[in-house]
């Protein structure tokens, strides 16, 4: 029934305007989108390590590298030569936003406009170095607005045309819609939302898929389309999850951030299984989230399982007879998060003890005061084995900047084969 309504939307002529506009240039407010010349003779090409199955993808930031204010203030961003494409099949540039002045122009708020770094020059070099590596652009992220655009057929059509223009102009391979979240939970959310988001979300995905297919007729390329979904039960009750899964190539399950500075106690960031001692909602886990979607009728091959290559921490944590796990704390530590190199320093420095939760299949560090939840090599191997066992279509990582040396990506690559 829902698909019939979407077809009616297309038949009304909205998609015709989108498809016709896809041959044009994207509307933009960011000078970071300029094209820079790349000397192909200076590019050293690489190849994918064979045998990756399921597909491995990662988000790739446009803001500076680093996990604290001091590092971020250095304004150092990634270069194409730093990306270990041999471990990957897809990167997702994060994030584009929808400009809220006209509800349709695409902007990249975290990319500099002073000429210090050219996003599109780097993606062009990346394509030359790693020809196999698909490049998608993600629109959205936490706090990004979608509802007004999706609700207005004209703005929606213009946005889709602009997005298709980016795909063509910068030789991208697809798009990711990271709307967090259509309709929203009963307890509310910061971004604009309305009950009509349920239908408008499907209309947005349907019309975008049609426009990308039309663009593909022109360019000879089949464009990928994905969308992000939370590892939460409420999302399925508020949205047409199965219809969305039918439209997109895959749904990226954000199986992380189960605990953070908002939580009442310490806990696991991205545990694979539930620990019954977990005091938050009786516990939650990646396995429960995956089974939630599978039991709702999601094809397993449409689920891309998310991994967190970062850590979260709390201080003022008592031991509680559990090495700090599920204990009260006085405040968050490292509020900007911890990247893998920092976590490695803690592991090797001798101050922290590394523990493994046999119930949750998750690691943590504790030094008698600070508790750190994170993902390490053992957890990655377990998650990769789980994804293969469940027949999932892929795994994705948030986010490449947390593992610039590729240590964890190498483990993931080896484990997923």
- Measured in residues, the chain has a length of 417
Bridging pattern class, strands 371-373 and 310-315:
antiparallel
Distance CA 352, CA 165 (A): 50
Distance CA 208, CA 169 (A): 17
Q: Examine the residue annotation and report whether 71 is marked as an active-site residue of this protein.
A: no
User: Residue 125 has which token pair?
Assistant: 């070099």
Q: Which of 90, 122, 180, 207 is catalytic?
A: 180
Give the per-residue SS3 of the chain: CHHHHHHHHHHCCHHHHHHHHCCCCCCECCHHHCCCCCCHHHCCCCCCCCCCCCEEEEEEECCCCCCCHHHHCCCCCCCHHHCCHHHCCEEEEEEEEECCCCCCCEECCCCCCCCCCCHHHHHHHHHHHCCCCEEEEEEECCCCCCHHHHHCHHHHHHHHHHHHHHHHHCCCCEEEEECCCCCCCCCCCCCCCCCCHHHHHHHHHHHHHHHHHHHHHHHCCCCEEEEEEECCHHHHHHCCHHHHHHHCCEEEEECCCCCCCCCCCCCCCCCCCCCCCCCCCCCCCHHHHHHHHHHCCCCHHHEEEEEECEEEEEECCCCCCCCCCCCCCCEEEEEEEEEHHHHHHHHHHCCCEEEEECCCCEEEEECCCCEEECCCHHHHHHHHHHHHHHCCCEEEEECHHHCCCCHHHHHHHHHHC
Whether 57 contacts 89, CB under 8 Å = yes
* CB crowding 95-114: b at 16 or more within 10 Å, else e: bbbbbeeebbbbbbebbbee
Count CA within 13 A, CB hemisphere, residue 296.
Answer: 22
Active site residues: 180
């Amino acid at each position: 029934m829902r698909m019939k309504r979407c077809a009616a939307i297309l038949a009304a002529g909205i998609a015709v305007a989108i498809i016709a506009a896809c041959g044009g240039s994207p509307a933009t407010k960011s000078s970071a989108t300029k094209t820079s010349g790349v000397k192909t003779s200076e590019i050293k090409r690489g190849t994918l390590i064979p045998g990756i199955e399921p597909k491995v993808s990662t988000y790739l930031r446009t803001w500076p590298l680093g996990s604290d204010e001091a590092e971020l203030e250095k304004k150092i961003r990634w270069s194409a030569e730093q990306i270990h494409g041999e471990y990957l099949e897809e990167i997702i540039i994060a994030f584009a936003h929808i400009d809220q002045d006209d509800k349709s122009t695409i902007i990249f708020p975290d990319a500099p406009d002073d000429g210090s770094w050219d996003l599109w020059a780097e993606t062009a070099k990346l394509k030359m170095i790693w020809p196999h590596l698909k490049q998608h652009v993600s629109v959205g992220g936490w706090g990004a607005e979608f509802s007004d655009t999706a609700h207005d057929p004209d703005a929606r059509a213009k946005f889709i045309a602009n997005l298709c223009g980016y795909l063509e102009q910068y030789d991208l391979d697809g798009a990711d819609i990271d709307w967090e979240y259509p309709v929203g939970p009963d307890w509310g959310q910061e971004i604009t939302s309305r009950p009509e988001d349920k239908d408008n979300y499907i209309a947005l995905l349907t019309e975008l898929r049609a426009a990308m297919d039309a663009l593909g007729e022109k360019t000879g390329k089949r464009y990928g389309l994905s969308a992000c979904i939370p590892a939460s039960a409420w999302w399925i009750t508020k949205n047409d999850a199965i219809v969305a899964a039918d439209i997109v190539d895959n749904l990226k399950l954000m199986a992380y951030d189960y605990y953070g500075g908002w939580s009442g106690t310490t806990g696991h960031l991205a545990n694979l299984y539930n620990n019954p001692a977990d005091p938050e909602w009786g516990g939650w886990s990646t396995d429960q989230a995956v089974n939630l979607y599978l039991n709702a009728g999601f094809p397993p091959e449409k689920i891309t399982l998310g991994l967190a290559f970062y850590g979260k921490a709390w201080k003022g944590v008592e031991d509680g007879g559990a090495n700090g796990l599920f204990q009260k704390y006085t405040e968050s530590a490292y509020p900007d998060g911890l990247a893998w190199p920092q976590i490695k320093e803690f592991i090797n420095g001798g101050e922290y003890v590394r523990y493994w939760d046999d119930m949750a299949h998750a690691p943590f560090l504790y030094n008698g005061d600070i508790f750190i939840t994170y993902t390490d090599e053992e957890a990655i191997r377990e998650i990769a084995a789980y994804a293969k066992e469940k027949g999932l279509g892929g795994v994705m990582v948030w986010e490449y900047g947390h593992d610039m040396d590729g240590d964890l990506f190498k483990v993931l690559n080896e484990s997923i084969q």
